[in-house]
Amino acid sequence: MPLADADAEAAQPPGRRPWWRRLFDRQRDTPWAGERPPLRRVFDRIGTWAAAAVALTLVVLAILYVPDGVHAGRDHFAKRAPVAPDGVRAPRSYPGHQPLLAFDKRSNTWWGPGVSRSGQGEWLEVTFAEPTRLLDVIITPGVSARAEKLGESALPHRIKATVTTKDGKTTTRDITLDQGAGGQRRPFRVGEAVKVRLTIESAYAVSGDKQVTLAEVEFFGRSSSNGV
């Protein structure tokens, strides 16, 4: 190689280092003679750190929320199966219509608190011996699933569900029912539930000679046939 070419090649400034090396290397790139130093070096460094912070934040969010997303996807496509509670109670009941009758899988039996009008504040509570993942609930209002029986009682309208999980934490779900006959399915996705209290907030067809009643409450979780 001619000496002139060798000298010209040696005089070429080295290429700029990759961003990941510049991020952790505080040494400044020294400009060559006659080369103008970068005018926005400080802003470049700030931008690099900001990009790294964003990337780290995305990684943390993925770790925190990806499991919930996986559960949501499985829940959406999962086949449902009935989940029977291990215990049922209520603070009061109409004679002959105990809380268990709302969970006996028969729509011609019912529970009522034995007080007239809306029954606001009255509740049913179920417990599960093992933490249970719930997906849906079906509530049949009134004394029966038959339409001609709707007028015999007040019908629950808004119900507040208070869920206690195995770690002792509580969350609430608001359930709004229609003024109609038959079972009404509502999404009810909670995980690791050990207790659910259903509190009546308001009712339809309230009067002084009627009490609010529930013919049936059915919880559903994942079927074992889903393999998850």
pLDDT tens figures, 150-167: 999 999 999 999 999 999
What span, in angstroms and rounded, lies between the C-alpha atoms of 124 and 97?
13
State the pLDDT confidence band at 202, using cuts at 50, 70 and 90. very high
User: How do strand 80-83 and strand 214-222 relate by DSSP bridges?
Assistant: antiparallel
pLDDT tens figures, 74-125: 544 468 899 999 999 999 999 999 999 999 999 999 999 999 989 999 999 9
For residues 44 and 142, which has the higher predicted lDDT (pLDDT)? 142
Q: Which two tokens stand for residue 177?
A: 């029912």
Q: Which two tokens stand for residue 161?
A: 């569900």
- Residue 187, beta-bridge partner list: 136
Q: Where in the chain is the domain with CATH 2.60.120.260?
A: 82-223
Q: What's the pLDDT at 49?
A: 74
| Residue 73: pLDDT over 50 | no
Residues 6+ apart with CB under 8 A from 206: 117, 118, 154, 212
Residues 6+ apart with CB under 8 A from 145: 107, 108, 181, 182, 183, 215, 216
Q: In 3D, which of 98, 148, 126, 142 has the Cα closest to residue 194? A: 126
Class of domain 82-223: mainly beta
Q: Which two tokens stand for residue 94?
A: 């109409």
Least confident of 36-50, 113-127, 187-201: 36-50
Q: Which two tokens stand for residue 187?
A: 């999404």
